[in-house]
Structure 1
Amino acid sequence: MADLDQLVSLNVKVTGHVAEVTLLGPGKGNAMGPDFWRELPVVFGALDADPQVRAVILTGSGANFSYGLDLPAMMPSWAELLGSDPALAEPRTRFLHDLRRLQDSVTSVAACRKPVIAAVSGWCIGGGVDVISAADIRLASADAKFSVREVKVAIVADLGSLQRLVGIIGEGHLRELAFTGRDVDARRAEKIGLVNDVYETQDDVLDAARKLAEEIAANPPLVVQGVKDVLDTARAPQVAAGLRYVGAWNSAFLPSKDLGEAAQAFFERRPPKFTGE
């Protein structure tokens, strides 16, 4: 996997039949900027193709899994859309193209034929939840906190949480999280099925993820991959259709005074005041 030697936002280590992928940032709290979105599908494509790898662990460096989308780094790509004439189709079409590229980046985690275990500590916000939703199994440490927070910044979550979480936590819990944007602690996450188990510390959850990955890797690899393929047969087309729809929806309706207010409030470190415009 020589093409993984120059990564900026991710680190990949393979031990035996288990690969560990660690988020590195470089944004604060492993925030997801352009490097992350470019490198994630490269990494999971390489792991999918590597016959040595039978299971993958996905975790974050430092105290947090991820603060989610790196807004300062990503905002330039939205600037033309937000500042353009609302009737213009060309900037909306380019935004849709860019959004689908981000969606495909997250989908590379779900599409990897090797089972993916997310080991989450600290904050897992927005894009972080999108990514762990694409994993097969989620484990957490006691300090983990989760938030489908896009509604707080006047965005319909569009990278997979709305499509994938429904099969993980169910309609009621998903609607509550997506409508409110509230924070969910590890205890609540375990109760609603967002994570399978909660462990005391970050070291504990990573150790548990490694043991689980090794247990999976000890089974016949093609059979394990077949199980994943069969389980995904019904869900994957539904997810794909949902992603296409939300992409079109956000390309049409994302530009708003509320979104501009959310961005301004973020940079001014104050609560936003939404008007529904």
Structure 2
Amino acid sequence: MTQYSAFNLELREGIAHVQINRPEKINAMNAAFWTEIRDIFIWIEETPEVRVVVLSAVGKHFSSGIDLMYLAQVGAQLGKEVGRNARTLKRKIEELQSSFNAVDECSKPVLAAIQGYCLGGAIDLISACDMRYSTIDAQFAIKEVDMGMAADVGTLQRLPHIIGDGMMRELAYTGRTVLGDEAHRIGLVNSTFIDQEELMGGVFNIARTIAEKSPIAVQGSKEMIRYMRDHSIADGLNYIATWNSVMLQSEDLRIAMTAHMSKKQPEFKD
């Protein structure tokens, strides 16, 4: 296990387990969090042994969102001149966006396991993941509106593709709390679990299933799904035709077909 200031990182059986590790601060996102998550996902992208990622958190809560002390530090950098302040703030917001872009753009599937609070910036984070799972008593809220601001690190851009435009607007405008059962009903999470132990067991079972598949097939599927979020059906069909004109020549196809015919478990290279 590799331990960062704000994270734990472990690779086992093709699964990279990334844990937010600030339980004494309700896993609030401090300065180290934003730089370390970028570094971790660069490592994940560059490490062929990683087939799938599980993102979770140590303690009772997933995350209370951005650390208010960190916001105060950013505020202390501002002066009296509006134009220069705007440039400083825009650069900082784009820097934070890049941290969750690294999660969204990761070629390996990312599964979020959520318990307790998942507030503010934590919604931005899980919106960048492929799938989300939670305990039944998890609490989700887009809290930025209660702080007098609009969410600016990905929630308003990614969440409509997950729960639909109308529901996203309701949550963004009201800041109300959604519990696990409602989160499941609106599609924010794929399924819920009784407690954190069952949650982690269930999510790792799904991760192990994904890790056994052809990484060419899994990562190609993710690339196509991400592409379709921002393109037409015609664009997507053209892209998959071009993509598979190369990828169907992979030995993974032969291995999968042979295993299927012989009723054996296929084994794929990283």
TM-score range, shorter chain: 0.7 to 0.9
Distance 1:33 1:69 in 2: 7
Runs of 4+ in 1 over 6 A off after TM superposition: none
Equivalent of residue 115 in structure 1, options 109, 125, 146 = 109
Structure 2: where are the runs of 5+ without partners?
Answer: 232-270
Give me the TM-score of the superposition, normalised by structure 1.
Answer: 0.81
Aligned to 1:170: 164
Deviations 1:117-142 (A, max 9, x none): 00000000011111000000000011
Alignment of 1:143-182 (within 5 A): 143-182=137-176
Aligned to 1:253: none
Deviations 1:96-132 (A, max 9, x none): 1111000000111111110000000000001111100
CA RMSD of aligned residues (A): 1.7
Distance 1:107 1:57 in 2: 17
- Give the residue type in structure 2 aligned to 1:24: N
- Give the residue type in structure 1 aligned to 2:80: S
Q: Point out the more displaced range, 100-109 or 70-79.
A: 70-79
* SS of equivalent residue, structure 2 residue 8: strand
Whichever of the two has the greater Rg, that structure is 2
Q: In the alignment, does 2:190 pair up with 1:193? A: no
TM-aligned CA deviation for residue 76 of structure 1: 1.6
Q: In the alignment, does 2:4 pair up with 1:32? A: no
2:23–2:58: 8 Å Cα contact kept in structure 1?
no
1:27–1:70: 8 Å Cα contact kept in structure 2?
no
* SS of equivalent residue, structure 1 residue 195: coil
* SS of equivalent residue, structure 1 residue 89: helix
Percent identity between matched residues is 38
Deviations 1:44-88 (A, max 9, x none): 11011111010000001000000000012331212344x624xx3
TM-aligned CA deviation for residue 91 of structure 1: 1.8
TM-aligned CA deviation for residue 27 of structure 1: 5.9
* SS of equivalent residue, structure 2 residue 26: helix
- Give the residue type in structure 2 aligned to 1:154: G
2:2–2:10: 8 Å Cα contact kept in structure 1?
no
Q: In the alignment, does 2:63 pair up with 1:66? A: yes
Aligned to 1:252: none
Aligned to 2:118: 124
Q: Point out the more displaced range, 119-128 or 22-31.
A: 22-31
